Amino acid sequence: MKEKFFTDLDRYYFHHGVHYDLYEKMGAHLREVDGVWGVQFVLWAPNARAVCVVSDGNGWTPWKDVMEKMDDCMWELFVPGMCEGVKYKYLVVRADGSEVMKADPYGFASELRPANASVVANLETYEWGDSEYRSAKKGENFLEKPMAVYEVHLGSWKKDHEKWWDEDKFLDYRRLAHEICEYVKYMGYTHIEVMGICEYPFDGSWGYQVTGYFAPTARYGKPQDFMYFVDYMHQNGIGVILDWVPAHFPKDEFGLSWFDGTPLYEYADPLRAEYPQWGTKAFDLGKPEVSNFLIASAFFWVNKYHIDALRADAVAAMLYNSFGREQWRPNQYGTDFNMESFAFFRHLNTVLRQRTDAFIIAEDSSIVSGVTAPAKNDGLGFGLKWDMGWMNDTIRYYNEDPVFRRYKHHLMTSTFDYVFDENYILVLSHDEVVHGKGTMFNKMSGNHLDKIGSLKTVYTMMMGHPGKKLLFMGQDFGQEAEWDYKGELQWHLCDDTGHRDIMNCYRSLLHIYTKYPVLYNDTGRKNVFEWINSGDYLRNIFSFIRRNPWNYNNALVFICNFAPVFREPVEIGVPVSGEYKRIFTTYAEDEPLNVTAVKKECDGRPYRLVFNLRPFESMIFEVPFHESTEEELAEEKKVRSRVAKEHKDAKSDNVHVPKVPEPEKAKASSESDAEKPAKLAAKRKTTK
């Protein structure tokens, strides 16, 4: 038997689900063997009868380049003379004797759809220029940093109308890098979140039915082009978040479905194998090899493409066996939880935080507790969780006519009851502006001017609410048409006075958000928010304070008027004396306004501010500076010490992974080690 490229140690790691750099061995790799350059292929297909590589390098001739089964599950082949850019597939003779052409599950590049062959790619040729950015992020506690995310779909952000011959008119990764970066820097965003660019066959899935978990889509260029995209963003101080889909995959014949004639990547159990509402297959995370496939994909994007964070799609679908299913199978404890998914996320989140500076954001609508708690504390270990409750309640509130908003006032206050239970990110995402839901602008009631005023106040309230921020493209200037993945944003609206006003308002809010630590250094700390008056429902007014945990220095006072009428005068209670400087108003006037606090009790506080509010006006005041007392300085030191310890604990969190013996002892290792992460996950409190 030939020398194995995929060694016994690789095999041991893989079968225990802990081969974190599996992408360095699986798939197609350019290498030199006995002085000859070629491509090394490695494939996992344990139940295949035979496998061969067919490519444009061998004229797509079957059985010319036949792979050798090196053990009970791994297939290998070195093809001398094959080079970068060759298109290839695996011809798999499945368990029942039928033949099928499969794309490489670990392929680094793909053909442009509708073609679907994998492409040999060399990822080592790109020269990165983001070392300064990455050094600055080393060991950083992202919870203490601002995160204002611009969610973008690359194919519909903007079109290249000079490509008259091209139906898609896509901009390429490199041009997108320059144009999007210029926009997000002007606006004041800190990060962009790129909607699904892992290779996918159907445009209408928006990238959420993936066939290439290691390949950026060819729609916008080659792998090196996407590397340039990330690199350019980093060189300009912009973080990059990538949407990632660990829940399910499509049934396309060339993909993962029924790969070797058996349910290899999906569950064999028909009650767990599919998500009927999506028409997709569910990953069987009970198999260490399948879990390792996804874990390696996460590490791949972080290590090879320098991605700052992943946003895991459809987490709730993974946590519940009943999600989207009329019939479902309980776990071994008789409950609805998918215990394999709990073990998977605890493992992945822990090792990713330990070994990199990246983290994962959960797009999660479940009511499972501890999603962002450390795994060692029975949590799932995510860095952040989408606050779907805030999103739904906020939209329900401002969908109401202002006359009736008094009856929905609680929707805007109830979110503060749980906002510190997890590390949240507030999201107004692409899902809220499609399928007849209307854009953020058109969700508002009233005439055109009412919509403008109301939306600006919504954004002000959002910026004052604890949690990181995310807004979908186009909503920052009040896009009127629902998002269409085939079209582009209504950029011409930026020339309209009203829509330009919305954009300038959101831009001002972003710059305030990144300037004042009290607005972003808030995650998990209950004493950074105080209501001034949460019960002013008759006037549709909300007033509150954002502060640091030890005193009111650098604190901000927010007051938001959700009614289309003047409020003259308005009185609110404030904590300290002095002159309060207005740093923002949704009316965007240049005239400064300083209001001196009057020594008179109001809202249970010793001082009050008196001023006028116009229709749908929101204001932000800066609290006057006061010298810290000894008690406040001691509290500050205590809080900073606790935060540093929490960050250190998160980085040093641990879950059980198999102990790795010496290579020669690998075959004798007990397979029971692979079962222990799932058993540990089973101890999690199953409160729903």
For residues 302 and 241, the answer to whether their CB atoms sit within 8 Å is no
The separation between the first and the last C-alpha atoms of the chain, rounded to the nearest angstrom, is: 53
The amino acid occupying position 461 is: M
Cα–Cα dist 251/499, whole Å: 43
The H or E element containing residue 309 is strand 309-312
The residues with which 55 forms a beta bridge, in sequence order, are 88
Q: Residue 292: exposed, middle, or buried by beta-carbon count in 10 A (0-12, 13-18, 19+)?
A: buried
Q: How far apart are CA 321 and CA 398, in angstroms?
A: 34
For 137, the 3-state DSSP assignment is helix
d(CA 309, CA 303): 11
| Local structure of 216: helix, strand or coil | strand
Which amino acid, one-letter code, is at 585?
T
Listed residue (208, 204, 191) closest to 363, CA to CA = 208
Beta-carbon-side half-sphere exposure of residue 195 (alpha carbons within 13 Å): 23
Q: Tell me the C-alpha distance between 303 and 291, whole Å.
A: 18
- Count the neighbouring beta carbons within 10 Å of the beta carbon of residue 100: 18
Q: How far apart are CA 535 and CA 409, in angstroms?
A: 8
Amino acid at the residue 305: Y
Q: Torsion over CA of 343, 344, 350 and 351, rounded to 10 degrees? A: 130
CA–CA–CA angle 444, 447, 448 (5° rounding): 85
- The two most distant CA atoms of the chain are separated, in Å, by 90
Distance, in Å, from the CA atom of 274 to the CA atom of 294, rounded to the nearest integer, reads: 18
- Find where tokens 């109830």 sit: 414
Tokens of 255: 């993909």
3-state helix, strand, coil in the chain (%, to 5): 30, 25, 45
| Residue 476 CB contacts under 8 Å (≥ 6 apart), including other chains | 150, 187, 502, 503, 506, 507
Q: Which residues are catalytic?
A: 313, 363
Q: Identify whether the C-beta of residue 100 lies closer than 8 Å to the C-beta of residue 90.
A: no
> What secondary structure does DSSP assign to 359-418, as a single string?
EEEE------S-TTS-GGGT----SEEE-HHHHHHHHHHHHS-GGGGGGGGGGGTGGGGT
Residue identified by tokens 């990632």 is 244
